[in-house]
Amino acid sequence: MNTDTLKKITGWIIILIAIFSAYLILFFERFNLYFILLLIFDLVLAIRFRKIFSPSTIRISQIILGLLFLFSGFVKGVDPLGTSYRVEDYFIAYGTEWMMPAAVFLSFILNAAELVLGALLLFNVKPKITAWLVLIMMIFFTLTTLNDALNNPVPDCGCFGDALIMSNWQTYYKNLTINFFVLIVFLHRGRIRSYYRSSAEWAMGVGFIAIFIGFQYLNYINLPMLDFRPWKVGNKMITENPLPVKYYLTYQNKNTGEQKEYLSPDYPYNDPEWLENWKFVSQRVDDPNVMPGMDLAIINFDGEDVTKSYLENSEYNLFVVAWDLELSDIGAFSKIKTLYQKADEFDLSMIVITSTLPEQIELFKKWQKLPTHLEFFNADDIVLKTMIRANPGLILMKNGKVIEKWHNRWIPDWDEIEEAMETGG
């Protein structure tokens, strides 16, 4: 085996080690020093043996990076409003709430940047400039996610939108792995030759920007064309055959301090001697019936939880979801008022769920001249934003199933509601 062949094989082995390291991220949700050392070792290999990488391994690294950036930008770009909520989380975490109005703009810029860089890498356009831009972006992302992992200012950075949820440590590990391929591309940027003329490259770059900005805008003025959240059309938000809920009780020995956890009612609660020596500490509930993302609690103005009566309604019912009435689309509420009158004729339940306080709700109802018997309920604003990317948005439900959803720009007329009931039941 000659030296060149050995170098090529070694280069491919190093690439495969990095890919295997990326796979291992699935198994490390928390801090693990040995795993961090493995990922750093991958980076050292990329630098130390940079001269052995062949054009094919460099191109493969470009393609892997391009696909990763395209995937990351796409799953966020398909839901730019959702990405803006993550941006707002960072503003709150870092005490820069004054930047909140810029969240949507920054969401568009961030998503478009990832998409464009991914396309440039994949099609090998302006490789030297692209290598620099990718390196700068990944330095920023890596430092940000390191802080997220260490200090947990936000629970989820949203790096892959709602399509793939990762812990903060996993996100940091992911960026370290991506940096391996970034180093290969950056260190060999001078060896990468473009396929196109300079004018064509600039035209492609501008074209990518225009396409991806337009793609995001379409998803912004409508509901996301791909919904990765639990409340997507067709999902059922209740469990049809509920399993028993388990209650675990923790008791502590008054003399030794020892703690024991018992599955209720399997503990000696009727033993006076045991009760004299042990004291109750805490209770843990294990409910296997909780649906992923199903943390909606519909609360009436008396503080009662009425979620089940509406969510488990066996008949069709309409949820008007408005996370903030003051910021909601007033024109949409004019259409909702007309729709409510028609729904009332056909005895179809329709309620408004919002995080707005009751006294402000009453003022809003008077201002909009809404029917007095249109019922309003409270719920957490984060949950409402998860349910539908609109303010307000309309959701048609039946027996816990999401039948259809509408953006505030496209509030349907009664014929559309009837059509959805005919086809979605």
Dihedrals φ, ψ of 347, to 5°? 55, 40
- Quote the percentage of the chain above a pLDDT of 90: 51
Is residue 248 packed enough to be buried (19+ CB in 10 Å), middle (13-18) or exposed (0-12)?
middle
Residue in 374, 372, 418, 415 with CA at minimum distance from that of residue 392: 374
Q: What sign does the dihedral 325-326-329-330 (CA atoms) show?
A: positive
Which H, E and C letters describe the chain, residue by residue? CCHHHHHHHHHHHHHHHHHHHHHHHHHCCCCCHHHHHHHHHHHHHHHHCHHHCCHHHHHHHHHHHHHHHHHHHHHHHCCHHHHHHHHHHHHHHCCCHHHHHHHHHHHHHHHHHHHHHHHHHHCCCCHHHHHHHHHHHHHHHHHHHHHHHHHCCCCCCCCCCCCCCCCHHHHHHHHHHHHHHHHHHHHCHHHCCCCCCHHHHHHHHHHHHHHHHHHHHHHHHCCCCCCCCCCCCCCECCCCCCCCCEEEEEEEECCCCCEEEEECCCCCCCCHHHHHHEEEEEEEEECCCCCCCCCCCCECCCCCECHHHHHCCCCEEEEEEECCHHHCCHHHHHHHHHHHHHHHHCCCEEEEEECCCHHHHHHHHHHHCCCCCCEEEECCHHHHHHHCCCCCEEEEEECCEEEEEECHHHCCCHHHHHHHHHHHC
Predicted pLDDT at 281: 85
Structure tokens that stand for 294 in this block: 């199903």
d(CA 82, CA 79): 5
Domain 307-424 has CATH 3.40.640.10: no
Confidence of residue 264 (pLDDT cuts 50, 70, 90): confident
Strand-strand pairing, 393-398 and 316-322: antiparallel
Which pLDDT score is estimated for 241? 66
Q: What is the C-alpha to C-alpha distance for residues 358 and 315, in angstroms, rounded to an integer?
A: 27
CA distance 53 to 154: 38
Are the CB atoms for 174 and 22 separated by under 8 Å? yes
| CA 74/CA 219 separation, integer angstroms | 11
- Average pLDDT for 126-146: 94
Q: Please give the residue that has the higher pLDDT: either 268 or 277.
A: 277
pLDDT score, position 270: 81
Asked whether the predicted pLDDT for residue 322 surpasses 90, the reply is yes
213 — pLDDT class (breaks 50, 70, 90)? very high
pLDDT over 80 (residue 366): yes
Give the least confident one: 129-133, 267-271, 339-343: 267-271
**350: confidence class by pLDDT, cuts 50, 70, 90:** very high
The rounded distance, in Å, linking the Cα atoms of 312 and 208 is: 46
Q: Indicate if the pLDDT at residue 303 is higher than 80.
A: yes
Identify the residue whose tokens are 């103005």.
Answer: 301
Is a pLDDT exceeding 80 seen at residue 161?
no
| Cα three-residue angle 318-323-329, rounded to 5 degrees | 80
Predicted local distance difference test score (pLDDT) of residue 371 = 86
- pLDDT category at 294 given cuts 50, 70, 90 is low
Question: Are the C-beta atoms of 110 and 85 separated by less than 8 Å?
Answer: no
pLDDT score recorded for residue 372: 83
pLDDT (mean) for 367-374: 87
Whether residue 137 has pLDDT greater than 90? yes
Residue 239 has pLDDT above 80, yes or no: no
Q: pTM for the complete prediction? A: 0.82
pLDDT at residue 8 greater than cutoff 70: yes
pLDDT value for 246: 84
Q: Which residue has the tokens 């008077």?
A: 366
How do residues 398-419 score in pLDDT, each as one tens digit? Answer: 988 999 999 999 999 899 998 9
Instruction: Give how far Cα 264 sits from Cα of 274, 282, 283, 319, 360, Å.
Output: 15, 12, 10, 37, 44
Predicted local distance difference test score (pLDDT) of residue 291: 63
Q: Is the pLDDT reported for residue 243 higher than 80? A: no
The answer to whether the CB of 88 falls within 8 A of the CB of 218 is no
- The string of pLDDT tens digits covering residues 53-86 is 889 999 999 999 999 999 999 999 999 998 998 8
Cα(172)–Cα(157) distance, integer angstroms: 10
- Asked whether the predicted pLDDT for residue 96 surpasses 70, the reply is yes
Segment 37-49 shows an average pLDDT of 93
Average the pLDDT over 323-340 and give the result.
Answer: 90
**393-398 and 375-378 beta bridge pairing:** unpaired
For residues 383 and 295, is the Cβ–Cβ distance under 8 A?
yes
Cα-based torsion angle of the residue sequence 48, 52, 56, 61 in order, rounded to the nearest 10 degrees: 0
- Domain residue extents for the chain: 3-221, 246-286, 307-424
Neighbours of 267 (CB within 10 A): 16
Residue recorded with tokens 């729709």: 339
Q: What is the pLDDT of residue 198?
A: 87
pLDDT at 337 over 70: yes
In the predicted structure, residue 380 carries a pLDDT above the cut 70: yes
Distance of CA 203 to the CA centre of its chain: 33
Place of tokens 């030296």: 3
